[in-house]
Structure 1
Amino acid sequence: MLPAAPEFVEVTHRADLDVLLIRWMRKVTLEEMCAGYHYVLERAAEHRCRQWLLDARRRFNTDRDGAHWMITSFLPTLHARLGGRTYLAYLLVPVIMRDVEADAAFPPASFFEGKPFAAERFIDEREAVAWLQEARQQPVA
């Protein structure tokens, strides 16, 4: 049985797209972020869904501590739970894309080469969904 959903994140499985839609409802602490992602992973495992659209426009915070936790602790667990490469499309407000600290916290595209997970940032939801749909065409690794 899944734990109760945290009040700061909404998770919906879009079966028509096979995309997990994750909406962060407000700015979160590092502890809340970690709890939220663990909840998301449980929902993803329930649906065997490896394409995630993360709407972080309300969350409005990206920091080095959170990025470090994602890269070193969380993302490496996805392959074992979900059985293939997981794709994370982050939907952000444009100002985050221009924020030097937030930009430095997000790894460059080369970081994801050969890893069982990939992530990209978007300001347009259609582009994010298109990227995820293209990812679905990749062979399961």
Structure 2
Amino acid sequence: MSSHGLDLVFRPDLPALIARWQREVTPQELQAGYQAVLAAADAAQCGRWLLDLRRREDVIEPAVNAWFGTTFAPGLRGRYAAPVRLAFLISPLRARQSVVATVSAADTDCRIATFTDEASAHAWLARADA
């Protein structure tokens, strides 16, 4: 499925929902994209998400990050049988620049990690203790 500059694929073999932003998006499109991720995750009852941000330049958008941290992520608490696992995949350049905002896992009941390598992100998502 593709909308909001986002491709969504559920991989039951992993199991994980993979969300890849394909272009720059407006803050409104980004919020709508996260809602689309949530709807797809609910349909699959999948709390393991790989969020691929490598094609986006605007990884940090203050208004969206505030919304994500105070509204969206806390709303994930108790939604699935286990806490949601969010693996953010970013480019090595972004990782060196430390431009990805952090969301408190304590506030959200989510497991959150950032990766520059997709295989490592999938391995972390698959871990029972992740």
What is the TM-score normalised by the length of structure 2? 0.88
Query: Which residue in the other structure is 2:24 paired with?
Result: 27
Aligned-residue RMSD, C-alpha: 2.0
Inter-partner Cα distance in structure 1 for 2:76 and 2:7? 19
Aligned residue type for 2:67: W
Aligned residue type for 1:17: L
Post-superposition offset of 1:116? 1.6
| Cα 1:41/1:11, change in 2 over 3 Å | same
- 1:56-71 equivalences under 5 Å are 56-63=53-60, 64-71=62-69
Say how many residue pairs are matched. Answer: 129
Q: Find out whether 1:125 has 2:118 as its counterpart.
A: yes
Inter-partner Cα distance in structure 2 for 1:75 and 1:8? 21
Aligned residue type for 1:94: P
Post-superposition offset of 1:7? 4.4
Whether contact under 8 Å (2:87, 2:114) holds in the other structure is: yes
Q: For structure 2, list consecutive stretches of 5 or more residues without a partner in the other structure.
A: none
Instruction: Look up the SS of the partner of 2:59 in the other structure.
Output: coil
Aligned residue type for 2:9: T
Inter-partner Cα distance in structure 2 for 1:5 and 1:39? 10
What is the TM-score normalised by the length of structure 1? 0.82
- 1:67-86 equivalences under 5 Å are 67-86=65-84
Higher helix share: 1
Once the two structures are superposed, residues 81-133 of structure 1 have per-residue CA deviations (whole angstroms, 9 ceiling, x without a partner) of 33431011011111111225x24x224xxx31474212111000011001100
Once the two structures are superposed, residues 49-106 of structure 1 have per-residue CA deviations (whole angstroms, 9 ceiling, x without a partner) of 0000111111232223222111101011113433431011011111111225x24x22
Inter-partner Cα distance in structure 2 for 1:126 and 1:133? 11
Identity percentage of aligned residues = 33
Q: For structure 1, list consecutive stretches of 5 or more residues without a partner in the other structure.
A: none
Whether contact under 8 Å (1:84, 1:116) holds in the other structure is: no
Inter-partner Cα distance in structure 2 for 1:115 and 1:69? 12
Inter-partner Cα distance in structure 1 for 2:3 and 2:66? 22
